[in-house]
Structures are given as C-alpha cells and as structure tokens.
C-alpha cells in the first residue's frame, strides 16, 4: 500500500472514531439508567453476564446485547473483567472500576444524576443548531432546539429542572471530600452567601463543617421556593432573588459553577454586585469562586480536553465559557478587585479567592 493509502485509512479510522464518540456517552447513560453500577455493587462479588441480566430484570434473550454493551464499557474503563466459577465452569465476571464506583448510589457523591442530566434530550438536541447559530441565528442553540433559554426552560419543565438540580447536587456533594482542607478559606468568616447556590447542597456541607458560619443560599425564586433550612446547626437559610439586581451582604460570596454560565459582560456585572455585597474597608471580605481554569501548559491532555468540552457545552446551552487564568484576571480587574489566589483543588475545578 502506498503512503497516501496508508494515511487515508488512518484518517478514516480517526474520523470514524470521532463520529462515534457519542456512542461512548450514550452507552454510559444506558448503563446508568439500567442501574448496572448498583447491580454490580449490590452483588457483593464479581458478577457474570447471566447474573447481571437477571439482576437488571432483563429477559435472558437480551444477554448477548447486554454483553455487547458491557464490552464497550469495559473497553472505555468503566468496568473491568475478572473470572469466577459458575456451575463448575470458569466464566468472565464484571467488577467496578474507580470510574463506575462514583456512579453507585451508596456513594454520597454518586454522579449518576450528572450523567443522565447532561445527556438528556434537551441538551443533546441543542447541538444540531450550533452551526446555524455560528452562521447568524440570534438564539443560542439550546433556545432554538427547545424554544426557551436554558433558565426559562428549567422554570417551565419540572422534569428537566429536577434532573438538573439532582445533577448539581451530586456534583456539589464532591465538596464533602475537600471541605476540611478548605479551613484557610472559610475560617474567620462570620457570614457567607452562596450566590446561584441551587438547592443548597454545597452551603449545607460548608455550614455543617463550619457551624460558626452563617450561610445563605441565594438563587432564583423558582429554585429556592419552599426550601426549609435543614441543617442541625441551624446556620443555613434561603433567599430568593436575581444576582443581576442585588446580592445580600456577607463577609464572603461563594459562586460555584455560576460565572462559567455567563459571558464576560454579565460576569463583570455580577462581580461588581458581589463587590458591593462584601466589606471593602477594615477587615475586607472576599469572593470565592469554584470553577474551571483552563491551563493547557500544566494540565494533562485528558483534563484539558474535558475542560474544552465544558467550554463548548457552555456555548451551546447557555451564554457562558470556560476561562484561562488570564481571562479570569481581566474580569476581576474590570470589576474593581485588586488581587486573587487560585488553588487547583477539585480535579476539573479550581478554587479562586478574589479580594477587593
Ligand atoms: C450551574 S448551576 C450551579 C448551582 C450550584 N452553585 C452548584 O454548583 O451546585 C447555576 C445556578 O445559578 C442560578 N441562577 C441563574 N441565573 C440566576 C440569577 N439571575 N439570579 C440568581 N441565580 C441564578 C441557577 O438557578 C442555578 O441554580
């Protein structure tokens, strides 16, 4: 075969792999919807194909199809295989890997809701309209696909809203793993407002770890309506409002995965509102941001790729973007802040303290 033919076949394989990448995502979603991670976990030992099919309540005639689903998920690292004896015969059996352990319900930070929400039809359909938007459609792809902006759609579609908040709650439960390491961030503060705090998962984790800290969750009225304070420590409350209008005053403002959902102009407006809400004289306050910082030079390729994918997601479903340190710095300075400190704590995310 000549060089041109070799290159063409290599290019074809590369192209077909990328065309098929959604099959990896959708196979994972299917496994989560079927409850495969829990079925393997609950089995308490490696599970054979026939045991798995039975645990899923599927007809035995579906065994060969389940096998094919598992084969692709083993290949992508979500499950692994070992052998065990069944009916005197050695058989292949499936076990969890670290990637599927975080999809089991026994984990407080089970990320299964995140998988289902991010791969819901409203999200996936939006991608068909990205090209139209780049060529001139006024509405963002999510709005073209679903008839409403992301935030309006959530207000009108209770099922989507529940899916989304379940996803954010599961993501925020990861804070449990690092909250004790964040002492220097929260110690010495008397009050904190979690702006765009959703249903309050992260504020609940922080208020339990730091009982002296009075925490307020601030979000849109339809999000915080009927939310009772539920911590044993009684230092958590919910306030409804619009972050573009007024942010309740506090020693510190927390924003997790909020600014990445907005464009630069909006972020500067929001950060100015945050600055108005914290003390800027005497013992100064601060803004604590938990969000992505793109760092192509330092991060491994896989991490950069995940960050760039989230950047695309913010473009397609909302009006936001993921930012490099330089991008963040421009926003902070434009909003009147003097300095900041970035701590890469949370895998994909960093914690950024911003000072007036
Ligand atoms: C991506 S979610 C993050 C939720 C939470 N911080 C977390 O990480 O789990 C963004 C949040 O911002 C809220 N939000 C969007 N626009 C808002 C506005 N204008 N005023 C207040 N909250 C808003 C949404 O309702 C949503 O809960």
In the block, tokens 């949370």 appear at: 346
- At CA 196, angle to CA 193 and CA 202, rounded to 5? 65
Residue 193, ligand 1, Cβ within 6 A: no
| 96 in the same domain as 185 | no
Same domain, 193 and 87: no
Q: Does 305 reside within a domain?
A: yes
Q: How many CA atoms lie within 13 A of 193 on its CB side?
A: 25
User: Do 58 and 196 lie in a common domain?
Assistant: no
The answer to the question of residue 132 being in a domain is no
pLDDT of residue 230: 65
pLDDT at 229: 65
72 belongs to a structural domain: yes
Domain finish residue from 101, 116, 131: 101
Spacing, Cα 256 to ligand 1 middle (Å): 8
Number of domains in the chain: 2
Determine whether the shortest distance from the Cβ of 200 to ligand 1 is under 6 A.
Answer: no
Q: Which domain holds residue 207?
A: 178-355
Q: Ligand 1, closest atom to CA 242?
A: 20
* Cβ of 203 below 6 Å from ligand 1: no
**In a shared domain, residues 78 and 213:** no
As averages over each run of 10 residues, the pLDDT of the chain (356 residues) reads 93 95 97 98 96 97 98 98 91 97 90 96 97 94 97 93 93 85 90 95 91 94 82 86 96 97 98 97 94 95 96 97 98 98 87 96
> What pLDDT does residue 227 have?
82
Q: Where among 101, 134, 167 does a domain terminate?
A: 101
pLDDT of residue 307: 97
CATH number at 65 reads: 1.10.10.10
| Set 14, 18, 222, 260: catalytic member | 260
Of 69, 101, 133, the domain-final residue = 101
* Choice from 155, 166, 198 to test ligand 1 binding pocket (greatest atom count within 8 A of CB): 198
Contact 223, 247 (CB under 8 A): no
Question: In this structure, what CATH number is given to the domain that contains residue 247?
Answer: 3.40.50.150
Could you tell me if residue 37 is inside a domain?
A: yes
pLDDT for 346 equals 67
Q: 231 φ, ψ to 5°?
A: -80, 145
Is 246 a catalytic site residue? no
Distance CA 239, CA 194 (A): 10
For residues 148 and 125, give the distance between their C-alpha atoms in angstroms, rounded to a whole number. 13
Cβ(223) – ligand 1 distance below 6 Å = yes
Write down the pLDDT at residue 272: 97
CA distance 141 to 146: 8
In a domain, 173, yes or no: no
Please work out whether the CB of residue 219 comes within 6 Å of at least one atom of ligand 1: yes
Residue 159 lies in a domain: no
pLDDT of residue 177: 84
């Amino acid at each position: 075969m000549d060089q041109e033919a070799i290159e063409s076949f290599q290019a074809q394989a590369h192209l077909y792999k990328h065309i098929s990448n959604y099959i990896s995502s959708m196979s994972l979603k299917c496994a989560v919807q079927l409850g495969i991670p829990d079925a393997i976990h609950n089995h308490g030992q490696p599970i054979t194909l026939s045991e798995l099919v039975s645990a899923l309540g599927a007809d035995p005639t579906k065994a060969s199809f389940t096998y094919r689903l598992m084969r692709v998920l083993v290949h992508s690292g979500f499950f692994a295989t070992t052998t065990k004896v069944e009916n005197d015969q050695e058989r292949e059996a499936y076990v969890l890997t670290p990637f599927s352990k975080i999809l089991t319900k026994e984990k407080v930070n089970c990320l299964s809701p995140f998988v289902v929400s991010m791969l819901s039809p409203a999200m996936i359909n939006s991608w068909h309209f990205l090209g139209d938007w780049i060529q001139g459609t006024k509405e963002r792809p999510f709005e073209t696909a679903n008839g409403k902006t992301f935030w309006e759609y959530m207000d009108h579609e209770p099922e989507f809203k529940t899916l989304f908040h379940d996803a954010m709650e599961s993501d925020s439960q990861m804070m449990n793993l690092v909250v004790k390491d964040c002492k220097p961030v929260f110690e010495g503060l008397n009050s904190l407002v979690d702006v765009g705090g959703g249903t309050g998962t992260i504020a609940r984790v922080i208020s339990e770890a730091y009982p002296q800290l009075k925490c307020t969750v601030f979000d849109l009225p339809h999000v915080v309506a009927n939310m009772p304070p539920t911590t044993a420590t009684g230092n958590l409350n919910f306030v409804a409002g619009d972050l573009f209008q007024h942010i309740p005053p506090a020693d510190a403002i927390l924003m997790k995965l909020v600014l990445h959902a907005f464009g630069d102009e909006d972020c500067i407006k929001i950060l100015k509102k945050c600055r108005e809400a914290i003390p800027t004289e005497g013992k100064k306050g601060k803004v604590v941001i938990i969000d992505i910082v793109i760092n192509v030079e330092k991060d491994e390729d896989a991490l950069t790729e995940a960050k760039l994918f989230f950047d695309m997601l913010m473009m397609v479903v909302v009006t936001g973007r993921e930012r490099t340190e330089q991008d963040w710095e421009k926003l902070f300075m434009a909003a009147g802040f003097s300095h900041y400190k970035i701590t890469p704590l949370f895998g994909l995310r960093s914690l950024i303290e911003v000072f007036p």
